Each structure stands twice: as structure tokens, then as C-alpha cells.
Amino acid sequence: MLYVSKPPFDNPAPKPLMPLTRPTFVEMDDVSVTYGAVGSELALQAFSVRIATGEFAAIVGPSGCGKSTFLKLASGLRPPTAGGVIVGDKEVAGPLKFVGMAFQNPALLPWRKCLENVMLPLEIVEPFRSRKRRDRELHRARARDLLKAVGLPDAADRYPWQLSGGMQQRVALCRAIVHDPRLLLLDETFSALDAFTREELWGVVQALWLERQFTAVLVTHDLTEAVYLADTVHVVSSRPGHIIHSEVIDLPRPRDPRQRFDPGFADTVLRLRQKIAEARQ
């Protein structure tokens, strides 16, 4: 059972802890990660977190506190040095097939048209891979439908370099979810975009998440983005990172970017900012 503080929108002070009843999907207990020789570069220490199935969680914290390291653990790209990492009821023992990832850089393959970029995971991840030849047209339709869903109906036959940065990031989001991942990891996915494009992409991600109901974890430096998108925001201490504050964001869905000007929203952002400032001291 996950215990987090209740949303504060009617009151600037955090409310007492309350239970979140959905089953846990990502669970880390007392995790440490050391890079290099033992003890030389301790990135995470005593890091514990629970993220519920279908939840949208955000991880925020000072630069270098271990946010990306957390994503490597959750995706199975890196084992913990100590402690346990359970995702989807199983101890993580290697890269997980049911994870989708989108990064700050869309990292699309420039020699492939957008449709073929979106289809890439279907060529790698089972069971799609084995059915690649037989289901080729179905896979193309799947990718094409996703491009339509994110507002890019005409991008399928264009190359990434023919699109704007925001359009490329939409294509990257399609690629991240085309294989129906149970867990979507977003590593500063919106941080290189201009303010308007970023807001548009928040809406795109929220709509995809509401429709498909995967578990999502967003790592970001943007507290407004975290409060706007997440059900729960976790604040990580400075290195070696561990969670020092967790807060439920109880705004109704679907959320509207205009809500960020509400006093309660601003109070929450300010409080999280204060927590990060304390973490840096």
C-alpha cells in the first residue's frame, strides 16, 4: 500500500498521509546505485518508492540527484547495487519488454520515414517481432492510427528532418507506445520544446494516458509540468538521491493548462520548489 500526502488545493499546508488503494506496479525498496568502483559514485542510497498501477507519477529533484538512474532501474537497463526493484510483480532482472521510453531528444532515425520510425519497436519487441512479416499491414495501420491520434495524420511518409522539433517529439511518443507498453518512462521529454509546444504535448500525453491507462513516470525539472501531469509528485534529495517528499495532485481529469494559474496549483508548485531548495542545502 502506498502512503502519500493528500492534495493541498483548499489549503496551502500539506494534508496528512492517506492510503492509495490501487495495486503497486513499480516498487523500489532501500535501493542503492553506485557507479564505478564501490562507493566511488553513489547516485542513489536508501531510495524507496511505490508507484501504483495506472498512476502518472512525476520525479523531481536537483540536478544530478539520480532521476535518470531511477529510470534505468525501472526499465531494467541497470541493476541496483543493493536493494530490490520490482516492476509488474516481478523482480527486475534485465531490460523489460513492456516499457516504452521517450527522451529529451526525439532520437528518430533520419533515414527512416516517420511511419517506419514509429514501427521500430514492433520489429524488436515480442510478440510483434515474430509476426512482423505476417502482420506488416496491421503494424503499419497501428502506427498510422497513432500518428493520427497525436495530430500528425500527414507525417507518415515524411522524414524526421522534414518536421519541427515538436512534431518529432510527437513521433517519438508514438514510437514509445506503439507496442502497448504497460509502463511509459518520460525522461525530460518536453524540456527542449518552446512553451506553447510543450503545453500541446502535455495535452497529447495526458490524452494517450487517459485512453490507454498505462503506468507513467515523468522525470522533469519543470514543477508546473509535474503538477499538471502527475497524480503524485515525488521529490528526490540531492545526491545520493532518496525520496524526501511525496504529494498527491488531486486535480480532476482531463486537466487544462489554464488550471496552472489557480492559486491552489501555484501553492503546490511553490511548496515543491521549497522542498527542492531544502534538498540542495
Ligand X SMILES: Nc1ncnc2c1ncn2[C@@H]1O[C@H](COP(=O)(O)OP(=O)(O)OP(=O)(O)O)[C@@H](O)[C@H]1O
26: β partners = 51, 87
Quick one: DSSP state of residue 93? -
Minimum CB separation of residue 147 from ligand X in Å reads 29
CA separation (Å) from 92 to 52, 74, 86? 17, 8, 6
Tell me which residues in 147-176 interact with ligand X (CB under 6 A).
none
For ligand X, which residue of 8, 14, 66, 160 counts as binding (CB under 6 A)? 66
For ligand X, which residue of 24, 45, 69, 246 counts as binding (CB under 6 A)? 69
> Is-contact 144 112, C-beta < 8 A?
no
Under rule CB under 6 A, residue 39 binds ligand X:
no
Under rule CB under 6 A, residue 43 binds ligand X:
yes
Under rule CB under 6 A, residue 280 binds ligand X:
no
For ligand X, which residue of 52, 58, 65, 96 counts as binding (CB under 6 A)? 65
Q: Which residues contact 7 (CB under 8 A, 6 or more apart)?
A: 15, 247, 248, 249, 250, 251, 268
Under rule CB under 6 A, residue 217 binds ligand X:
no
Under rule CB under 6 A, residue 36 binds ligand X:
yes
For ligand X, which residue of 68, 191, 197, 259 counts as binding (CB under 6 A)? 68
Minimum CB separation of residue 227 from ligand X in Å reads 18
Give CA angle at 219 (66, 65), nearest 5°: 20
Under rule CB under 6 A, residue 23 binds ligand X:
no
By the criterion CB under 6 A, which residues form the site for ligand X? 35-36, 41, 43, 63-69, 239
